[in-house]
């Protein structure tokens, strides 16, 4: 499957794709996150999770 900049993916292999961590925390009441991103995006991804309320 090809994904371009303006496409919105709602599901991938049957799993819902959310736009950000805040949406995941609010919808699923999660408190843990695992970050799988290229190294140059890791800091931003971790801070997004913390700001969304992830505690672990």
Is position 54 within any domain? Answer: yes
Evaluate the CA torsion angle 3, 23, 27, 43 in order and state its sign: positive
For residue 3, the model assigns a pLDDT of 57
Is position 24 within any domain? Answer: no
For residue 2, the model assigns a pLDDT of 55
Is position 43 within any domain? Answer: yes
Q: In percent, how much of the chain has pLDDT > 90?
A: 52
Residue 7 confidence class, pLDDT cut points 50, 70, 90: low
Is position 23 within any domain? Answer: no
Average pLDDT over every residue of 6-35? 86
Is position 14 within any domain? Answer: no
Contact predicate 16/10, CB 8 Å? yes
- Distance, in Å, from the CA atom of 5 to the CA atom of 49, rounded to the nearest integer, reads 23
Which string of DSSP letters, residue by residue, matches 16-43? E--SSHHHHHHHH----------HHHHH
Is position 41 within any domain? Answer: yes
Is position 47 within any domain? Answer: yes
Is position 53 within any domain? Answer: yes
- In the chain, the number of structural domains is 1
- Distance, in Å, from the CA atom of 43 to the CA atom of 32, rounded to the nearest integer, reads 16
Residue 44's domain comprises: 30-56
């Amino acid at each position: 499957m090809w994904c371009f900049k303006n496409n919105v993916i709602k599901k991938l292999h049957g799993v819902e794709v959310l736009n950000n961590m805040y949406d995941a925390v609010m919808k699923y009441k999660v408190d843990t996150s695992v970050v799988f991103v290229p190294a140059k995006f890791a800091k931003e991804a971790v801070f997004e999770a913390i700001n969304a309320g992830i505690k672990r």
